[in-house]
Structure 1
Amino acid sequence: MRVLVTGAYGFIGSHIVAALVTAGHDVTCAVRGARLDTRFPGLKAVACDMARDTTPAAWLPRLEDVDAVVNCAGILRERAADSFEAVHVQAPQALYLACVKAGVRRVVQISALGNVRDGAFIASKHRGDEQLLSLPLIATILRPSVVYSARGSYGGTSLLRAMAALPWLTVVPRAALRPCIQPMAAEDVGLAVVAALEDPPQESETLELVGPRAMGLDDYLQCWRRWLGLPMAKIWAVPTACVKVISRLGEWLGVGPLGSTMQGMLERGNLGRPDALEHLHTRLNLTPRTLEHALAEAPSHVQDRWHARLYFALPLLRVSVALLWLGSGVVGWLLPPEAVADAAPNGLPSAATALMLARGTATLDLLLGALCLLRWRSGWVLAGMLLMLIGYTIGIGTLWPAHWLDPFGGLLKNLPLMAALIVLMAIEEKR
């Protein structure tokens, strides 16, 4: 079967692509920019943009020789043109209308389990589901609870791993101490998609993808803690009021998975109907694994502990580097001309040249520090910081070698700073 998969390189999408390839299907990845992912050598990729491809005409050329479509595309936060309405409703609707015109009748949509009151993310997903069900297609809508994998993580799953790896204490919202999630392995989600395509229903259907055991978040995190090889930790139940404040802060910052959607899902619960598991087994012949079973099949390694522990540490490193550059820029502008002239090495031709260099580098420091905080083209910004630091070190160390012996380590401190920037550049890629 020739299958077009949107969002193919995402956390859930990549597991679905792997399951389809394992089952012997011919997969085409519809991704932004048509970039080829080396994780899937030999697969075809076509360009798409769920924020802009909101007409059937944009999708029709991509459906040539396609037998089925799997839509895994989704965003947890709105950003610029990536709105919930465009990505979860308008673009999928255009894709499905194009399927009707092209005669592609089999569609699988990865939606989300939850209540529309949980936030705009869930509400938009469910609006997209309703529009799909109204079309003359054979559609299977899959609504998973929390999706995890022992072989990798992204977004909310990375956050939960990091919470599990906190030293001494496991922080849990008080409302999430009761059974509120039914975690589902991403590999089992892939199997569900394969089964839905190979055994299509008589008419469109909606299935809830849930694991076999309802868990509280504390139990879930302790399972991950055991998997990471860490001793059990005490549970710190955070009051709901505090969780709401933190969630609003996450929404305001606009980064990371923590926000109103996650808060609402944990407060109201993210559980399937009582007959959801039986329906999965009857319809798809699928029996999802328990979290303990899935983790036992893939023992952790030291790199997993590194990733979990660095989740909270790396943002602190990034912010501290950005503040250092901003502080350097402020000091460079506040220094009076006389102080700049007194501090300049003898190799410079004039005090005016020294002042111009000081103000110019201070301006560049301010610009790079601000861009680092805003995470604008992070790779380029961090590379610029590293080049500036190397330039400072070589220039000052050559023109004024006495600074190598500065009792406060003025130049020597640049060496660990270079290492910190190299680390940030190395882990900049998020997927």
Structure 2
Amino acid sequence: MRVLVTGAYGFIGAHIVAALTAAGHEVVCAVRGARLDTRFPGLPAIACDMARDLRCEDWLPRLEGIDAVVNCAGILRERGADTYAAVHEQAPLALFQACVRRGVRRAIQISALGDPVDGDFVASKHRGDAALAALELDWLVLRPSLVYSARGSYGGSSLLRALAALPGGLPLPAGGTQRVQPIAAEDVGVAVVAALARPDVARRIIELVGPEAMPLCDYLLAWRRWLGFGHVRILPLPLPLARFAAALGERLGDGPLGRTMLRMLERGNVGAVHAVARLRDTLGLSPRPLQRALNEAPSRVQDRWHARLYFWLPLLRVLLALLWLGSGVVGWTTSAREVQALAAGGPLGGHAALWLARLTASADLALGALCLLRWRPRLVLGAMLAMLLGYTLGVGLLWPAQWLAPFGGLLKNLPLIAALAILLATQERR
């Protein structure tokens, strides 16, 4: 079959694309900008924008020659035009309405397991499911629980790996007693392949869950053992403090830590009593237990690096941003007389040195603020690195005495250059 997959480069979407390809299906990736992902260089990609393609007519040309559609698009956070209403409801509905008009009967929606009262993420997903159910299609809604993979992570799965890798203790809300029923991302892909092979399994909602419901603390300890880290204590975190951290993460961060994730964990993310049996009876799928999936893919040193660096990298970004802001403040508050005294013996005259100091201070303030706000991080970090390199080489060559200045001001730029290069190299999240 020729299958159009939206959100094909996401964490779940990529595993579904891989499973479809392995099963011999021809996959067309519908992604923003029609960019080719290095993981799937041989697969065709067409442009779509789930924030803006809200009309049936936007999707009709993309369904030419398509036999089935799998919608994996989703966002955990709203940002700009990427709203829950657009990405989870309006754009999928337009796509499925186009399927009706084009005669594409099979439509599979990757939704989310949870209670709509937990937040707009789940509520909007379920409203999108209801809109699909009202159409004359052979639709199928799959609602996965906590999805993981031993071969990679993204978003919430990366956060949970990082928690498992913390040294000293694992601070968990209420001690991590919340129950989860994790399923391997590879098994989610197998479920989609099975659904395409069974067109009679239609017009129903199926929960994708693993065979074991377990406390969150046990889930994290299994990952800690897989990573090769030693015994650790569980540190019960009072729920009010956990809620404050989630609110802070929602307000200041752009990662998975937020109120929705905490509410889903508090309630527990498990399927119905007969969810596993129903999955076996309808799709012939028996998902692997967590430990078996981990045993089949031993951890590597890159997994340990990623887990350990997860919290350090954003902290490094914040500290560098504060350094740039501090440098800008100092550059503007240093008096003209002090600037001219510092420039004595250098290649620039007093007025030129003062003008350059104020100019670079303004650039420092702007870049520091943009770095804190995570505005186009690659561009901002690249500008910070270029500025630091230019300053270090320029001053070092034209004013070599500064290498030997008190406290080694220029020498301290060298580890800063390395820190910026590391941040630039780790900006890619998938």
What TM-score, normalized to structure 1? 0.98
Q: For residue 206 of structure 1, give the secondary structure of its aligned residue in structure 2.
A: strand
Aligned to 2:302: 303
Q: For residue 406 of structure 2, give the secondary structure of its aligned residue in structure 1.
A: coil
The answer on 1:19 being equivalent to 2:19 is yes
- What is the one-letter code of the residue matched to 1:261? T
Deviation at 1:101, TM superposition (A): 0.1
Q: For residues 76-225 of structure 1, what are the structure 2 equivalents within 5 Å?
A: 76-174=76-174, 176-178=176-178, 180-201=179-200, 203-225=202-224
Task: Give me the whole-angstrom Cα distance separating, in 2, the residues matched to 1:366 and 1:402.
Answer: 27
Deviation at 1:400, TM superposition (A): 2.4
Q: Deviations over 1:365-405 (max 9, x none)?
A: 11111111111111121111111111111222223222211
Task: Give me the whole-angstrom Cα distance separating, in 2, the residues matched to 1:236 and 1:131.
Answer: 43
The answer on 1:379 being equivalent to 2:391 is no
Q: For residue 4 of structure 2, give the secondary structure of its aligned residue in structure 1.
A: strand
Aligned to 1:35: 35
- What is the one-letter code of the residue matched to 1:316? L
**Which stretch of the first structure deviates more once superposed, 84-93 or 393-402?**
393-402
Task: Give me the whole-angstrom Cα distance separating, in 1, the residues matched to 2:308 and 2:3.
Answer: 38
- The alignment covers a number of residue pairs equal to 430
- What is the one-letter code of the residue matched to 1:297? E
Q: For residue 73 of structure 2, give the secondary structure of its aligned residue in structure 1.
A: coil
Aligned partners of 1:77 and 1:254 also within 8 Å: no
Q: For residue 408 of structure 1, give the secondary structure of its aligned residue in structure 2.
A: helix
Aligned to 2:64: 64
Alpha-carbon distance change, 345 to 392 in structure 1, aligned in 2, over 3 angstroms: farther
Aligned partners of 2:388 and 2:417 also within 8 Å: yes
Deviation at 1:237, TM superposition (A): 1.0
Please list every run of 5 or more consecutive structure 1 residues that lacks an aligned counterpart in the other structure: none
Following TM superposition, the consecutive aligned residue runs of length 4 or more in structure 1 with deviations greater than 4 angstroms are none
Q: Deviations over 1:16-74 (max 9, x none)?
A: 00000000000000000000112112211000000000000000000000000000000
Task: Give me the whole-angstrom Cα distance separating, in 1, the residues matched to 2:311 and 2:159.
Answer: 9
Q: For residues 264-279 of structure 1, what are the structure 2 equivalents within 5 Å?
A: 264-279=263-278
Aligned to 2:10: 10
Q: Deviations over 1:73-121 (max 9, x none)?
A: 0000000000000000000000000000000010110000000111000
**Which stretch of the first structure deviates more once superposed, 79-88 or 33-42?**
33-42
Q: For residue 408 of structure 2, give the secondary structure of its aligned residue in structure 1.
A: coil
Aligned to 1:367: 366
Q: Percent identity?
A: 64
Task: Give me the whole-angstrom Cα distance separating, in 1, the residues matched to 2:415 and 2:256.
Answer: 31
The answer on 1:242 being equivalent to 2:241 is yes
Q: For residue 135 of structure 1, give the secondary structure of its aligned residue in structure 2.
A: coil
Task: Give me the whole-angstrom Cα distance separating, in 2, the residues matched to 1:428 and 1:410.
Answer: 28
Aligned to 1:398: 397
Aligned to 1:73: 73
Aligned partners of 1:345 and 1:399 also within 8 Å: no
What TM-score, normalized to structure 2? 0.98
- What is the one-letter code of the residue matched to 1:242? L
Deviation at 1:346, TM superposition (A): 3.0
Task: Give me the whole-angstrom Cα distance separating, in 1, the residues matched to 2:184 and 2:158.
Answer: 14
Aligned to 1:289: 288
Aligned partners of 1:175 and 1:266 also within 8 Å: no
- What is the one-letter code of the residue matched to 1:6? T
Q: For residue 104 of structure 1, give the secondary structure of its aligned residue in structure 2.
A: coil
Aligned partners of 2:325 and 2:364 also within 8 Å: yes
Aligned partners of 1:345 and 1:400 also within 8 Å: no
Q: Deviations over 1:145-191 (max 9, x none)?
A: 0000000000000000000000020121117414x110000000000
Aligned partners of 1:176 and 1:267 also within 8 Å: no
Aligned partners of 2:213 and 2:270 also within 8 Å: yes
Task: Give me the whole-angstrom Cα distance separating, in 2, the residues matched to 1:262 and 1:4.
Answer: 29
Aligned partners of 2:175 and 2:235 also within 8 Å: no
Aligned partners of 2:180 and 2:270 also within 8 Å: yes
Cα root mean square deviation, aligned: 1.0
Task: Give me the whole-angstrom Cα distance separating, in 2, the residues matched to 1:279 and 1:257.
Answer: 30
Deviation at 1:354, TM superposition (A): 1.2
Q: For residue 223 of structure 1, give the secondary structure of its aligned residue in structure 2.
A: helix
- What is the one-letter code of the residue matched to 1:274? V
Aligned partners of 2:164 and 2:221 also within 8 Å: yes
Q: For residue 332 of structure 1, give the secondary structure of its aligned residue in structure 2.
A: helix
**Which stretch of the first structure deviates more once superposed, 14-23 or 420-429?**
420-429
